[in-house]
Every structure is written in structure tokens, then in C-alpha cells.
Amino acid sequence: MSLDLAAIRAAHERIRPHIVRTPVLTSAWLDAATGGRLFFKCENLQQVGAFKARGATNAIFSLTAAEAVRGVATHSSGNHAAALARAAQLRGIPAYIVMPSNSAKSKIRNVERYGGRITFCEPTNAAREAACARLVAGTGSVLIHPFNDYRVMAGQGTAALELLEDTPALDLLLCPVGGGGLLCGTAVAAKSLRPAIRVIATEPAGADDAARSFRAGRIVPAEKVDTIADGLRTTIGEKNFPLIQRFVDDVVTVSETAIIAAMRCLWEELKIIIEPSSAVPYAAIMEGKISVTGHRTGIILTGGNVDLDALPWM
């Protein structure tokens, strides 16, 4: 299996009854401030509060009956975990979830709400992978990796598919990158529908493995991960990286200060709640890493699950 526009279109048909076609918001003030036209795809208003509902739902509803009856397992800091738990609940199967011990309380509650069976682990990628492997071995469940899975990537690509249907003639498309599931789906959909579009990934400087890997031509894990953007702390997947090399035009990094400023700016100007990971693309514009002057730019706002007792500007 691989990833192409046909797989993304098939995913869209498969998940359509189970997801929201999220709106695209604009702001005359933000346009004036940046010198371009910005179109925000609001996946913070998606089921479970994040784009992850798309990929998890596609993966689970792609399973055969024999696979599904075994249940599913994954590791996730929160949004994929909740998305998988919800999709499993819709299909009537168990979901076994490994979450880092420092996961946001709001994201833990979200997983519990959908009946996910949580196992906590140390907050490192190695610990997550090891705990999940033990869980799969012990339960016989099917692993649905949060990003290193073509079914998940295809589902994530449906957000860009909708954005390009609703807002044609985009020049740029920006999205955050953690493991690369959204980025791969976005880039393949965008380049297939509009070959001239530029797809730019954005990530925190404190979790810059995608930028390092993109420059080096091989996967280079971040030496130390330190960012408020908890959804972007993962390392690029092996299946994701070749697609990023082929379809993505650039990867830029942003500071923590810019992420917080962008998050607050979008709360205030768009009147919506977004989490830190969602703010990273606009942070890149604010920091001058990406010029949108004179361009029609799509931005995927990835999620809105925030611990309201721990807002970064408080």
C-alpha cells in the first residue's frame, strides 16, 4: 500500500458519515497584517477536537471483520488517542491506548470519554513505542500507528482535499509537522490537485527533527525535545519521510515565544480555541520565516484541545 490521491478520495468517502466538514475562516485584519489572503481550515472544530479523527476513522473502518474483532492499540499524546477511541467505539471494538504521563489533562479526559483503555508511560518516544509493543503482544490487538500508517495518512489528507475544494487557487499551504501523517496527506492531496502549489511544513525549534531530516536527506531524530506544542514532539516516521522528500517544498522552525504569541493572536482574532500545535504555521508567518505577501495561503488549524487551567500566557 502507498499514498496517492485515489487513496485520499476513497478515505473521504469512507469517513464522510463519521466526521465534520470543518469550516474555512478568514480575517480581514490578519490579511492586512500579513499582506496576503489567509484561509484557516478549522480542524479544531472536528470530532474529538482535532484532525486526527480523520486518519483514525479511516484506519479503523478499513479493517476487516477478523482484524477489528481483536481491537486496536496505539500510542499518542492525546488527539490520536481520542480519535482512535472514538472510532473504535463507533465500530464497537476495544481501544488500548498508551499515553505519556505528562499528557494534557484535557486530552486524557477526551480519551476516557470515548472508552479508551489507557496505559501511561514515561514521556519519551522510546517508552511510548515499547509500552505499545507490550500492549499489542498482550492483547492481540491491531496497531494503528498515529502517523507511520498509509491508512492514517490518507485520512488526514482529506482535510486538504476539502480545503482545496472550498478554497481553490491557493498558492501556499501550511501545516504543522510532528510524525508527518498530516503533512504527507496534505502534500500528496495538494500537489495532485494543484501541482504549482507550495507546501511548507512548520515545526517548533525545540522539536526540529523534520527540518534536520529534510536538510540531511535522512531521518535525524531531535537530540532533545522541548516544546509547548505537545502534538509535535514525535519523530518523523519511516513511511512518512520519503513522501515528505518528494512532495514538500520546505520545512521551517519557530520559537516558543512565537508559538504562544500566534496562539493568542488567533484566539483573539478568529474567536476560536486552538492548541499550541495549531499555532505553529501562523507563528512562522509572524516570525518572518514564511512570506505570504500577495499570496492566497491555506493554513490547517490542527486541533483545539487545551488545558484551560494552564494557558501559556497566564
Q: What mean pLDDT is reported for the chain?
A: 95
Query: pLDDT tens for residues 39-55?
Result: 999 999 999 999 999 99
Identify the CATH assignment for 5-51+149-301 out of 3.40.50.1100, 3.30.950.10, 3.30.70.3000, 3.30.360.10.
Answer: 3.40.50.1100
* pLDDT tens figures, 240-249: 999 999 999 9
First and final CA of the chain: distance in angstroms?
46
Beta strands 296-301 and 198-204, pairing class: unpaired
Q: Are 5 and 192 in contact (CB under 8 A)?
A: yes
Residue spans of the domains in the chain: they are 5-51+149-301, 53-143
What is the 8-class DSSP label of residue 234?
Answer: S
What does the alpha-carbon distance between residue 280 and residue 102 come to, in Å, rounded to a whole number?
21
Band the pLDDT of 80: cuts 50, 70, 90: very high
Residue 176: burial class (beta carbons within 10 Å; 0-12, 13-18, 19+): buried
Q: Is the pLDDT of residue 188 over 80?
A: yes
**Strand arrangement, sheet containing 117-121:** 117-121, 95-100, 72-75, 142-143
pTM of the predicted structure, to 2 decimals: 0.95
Write down the CATH number for the domain with range 53-143: 3.40.50.1100
Percent of the chain with pLDDT over 70: 100
Helix, strand, coil share of the chain (percent; to 5): 50, 15, 35
Tell me the C-alpha distance between 21 and 289, whole Å: 30
